[in-house]
């Protein structure tokens, strides 16, 4: 998509749908595979698919070999983006063991507030009007996470997912920086190669015991999360962020939380309270308002 406006809207929406539905497979896998083992295994098909895609793109649109500087930029980008992504998805997967798919999707979407805050700190300011969308989204998170009492209804799983939102924020901002320097598909492939390495180290360090039977049980989930959510979804995220405002793209990506709730309700039969659904509505309104304000 050569039109940046179209790319900035359509690609994040597709990504949000993919990521939201993936919360279901992550939740199902949590009962069979350790966190690090799951993420190491999910990244393998992602890398393989992206390598094939790179080969196909090279045949369709041949390009010169990477220069030494481009190779260094790709290495730096892969290491930085991959490290933040590995931290984010492993924290998220830890949380998926004790929280619902829908709630995890919404807590993860806290990055909708964190991205503009840290973007401003880094000198990439967002329009003042966009902060209305951020406030609406945070209000949605409030209704999701407070049960009406004076205490925050966070479980230990919710806290892991909450911390993952900060790591996802760092990954989004890192992508925004490096995608201006290197090919987006190559960057996606490099970051998942790093995810495999770091997650495998984590599995060994924490002594996760992975059986062949557990892997066989989770093959459908691993293929969906690995090929569709990881390989396709994160590559679309990178392509969407090229020459785009990271805050606007992030607001659209936050719709993953809505899709997570829908998928959790349909497939896992998970339900949410009216108060939590009000949070969903506020998040959705924030996304719509963001598009009106930037158009």
pLDDT score recorded for residue 82: 96
- Ramachandran category for residue 293: left, alpha or beta (phi over 0 → left; psi -120 to 50 → alpha): alpha
Rounded distance, CA 169 to CA 176, Å? 11
77 in Cβ contact with 187 (< 8 Å): yes
Spatial separation of the C-alpha atoms in residues 43 and 222, rounded to whole Å:
9
Exposed, middle or buried, 227 (CB in 10 Å: 0-12/13-18/19+)?
Answer: middle
> Where on the phi/psi map is residue 9: left (φ > 0), alpha (ψ -120 to 50), or beta?
alpha
Query: What per-residue confidence (pLDDT) applies to 204?
Result: 94
pLDDT 10s digits, 5-55? 667 778 888 888 888 888 778 778 888 899 999 999 999 999 999 999 888
* Residue pair 46/289 in contact by the 8 Å Cβ criterion: no
Contact 273, 100 (CB under 8 A): no
Residue 12 and residue 19: Cα distance in Å, rounded? 10
Using only C-alpha atoms, the chain has a radius of gyration, in whole angstroms, of 18
119 C-beta neighbours (distance < 10 Å), count? 20
Closest CA relative to residue 264, chosen from 106, 102, 105:
102
Rounded to the nearest angstrom, the gap between the alpha carbon of residue 133 and the centroid of all alpha carbons in its chain is: 20
Please give the pLDDT value at position 41.
Answer: 94
Residue 146 φ/ψ, nearest 5 degrees: -100, 130
**pLDDT score of 79:** 97
* pLDDT band per the 50, 70, 90 thresholds, residue 294: low
Instruction: Count the neighbouring beta carbons within 10 Å of the beta carbon of residue 131.
Output: 16
**Distance (Å, rounded) from C-alpha 110 to C-alpha 197?**
27
Q: Mean pLDDT lowest for which of 75-79, 146-150, 162-166, 265-269?
A: 146-150
pTM: 0.79
Share of the chain above pLDDT 70, in %: 86
- Model confidence at 150, pLDDT cuts 50, 70, 90, reads very low
d(CA 237, CA 196): 19
> C-alpha distances in angstroms, 41 versus 32, 34, 199?
13, 11, 9
Helix, strand, coil share of the chain (percent; to 5): 80, 0, 20
- pLDDT value of residue 24: 79
Neighbours of 85 (CB within 10 A): 28
């Amino acid at each position: 998509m050569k039109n940046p406006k179209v790319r900035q809207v359509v690609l994040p929406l597709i990504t949000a749908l993919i990521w939201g539905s993936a919360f279901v497979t992550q939740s199902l896998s949590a009962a069979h595979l350790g966190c690090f083992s799951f993420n190491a295994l999910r990244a393998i098909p992602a890398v393989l698919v992206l390598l094939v895609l790179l080969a196909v793109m090279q045949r369709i649109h041949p390009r010169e070999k990477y220069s030494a500087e481009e190779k260094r930029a790709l290495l730096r980008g892969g290491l930085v983006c991959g490290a933040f992504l590995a931290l984010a998805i492993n924290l998220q997967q830890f949380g998926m063991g004790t929280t619902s798919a829908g709630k995890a999707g919404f807590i993860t979407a806290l990055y909708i507030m964190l991205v503009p805050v840290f973007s401003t700190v880094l000198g990439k300011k967002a329009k003042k009007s966009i902060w209305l969308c951020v406030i609406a989204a945070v209000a949605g998170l409030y209704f999701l996470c407070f049960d009406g009492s004076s205490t925050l209804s966070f479980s230990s799983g919710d806290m892991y997912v909450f911390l993952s939102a900060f790591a996802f924020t760092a990954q989004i901002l890192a992508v925004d920086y490096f995608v201006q320097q290197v090919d987006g598909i190559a960057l996606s492939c490099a970051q998942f190669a790093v995810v495999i390495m770091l997650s495998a180290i984590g599995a060994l360090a924490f002594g996760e015991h992975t059986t062949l039977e557990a892997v066989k049980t989770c093959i459908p989930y691993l293929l969906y999360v690995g090929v569709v959510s990881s390989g396709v979804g994160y590559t679309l995220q990178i392509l969407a962020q090229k020459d785009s405002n990271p805050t606007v793209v992030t607001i659209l990506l936050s719709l993953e939380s809505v899709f997570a709730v829908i998928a959790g309700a349909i497939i896992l039969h998970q339900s949410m309270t009216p108060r939590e659904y009000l949070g969903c509505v506020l998040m959705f309104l924030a996304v719509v308002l963001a598009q009106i304000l930037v158009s």
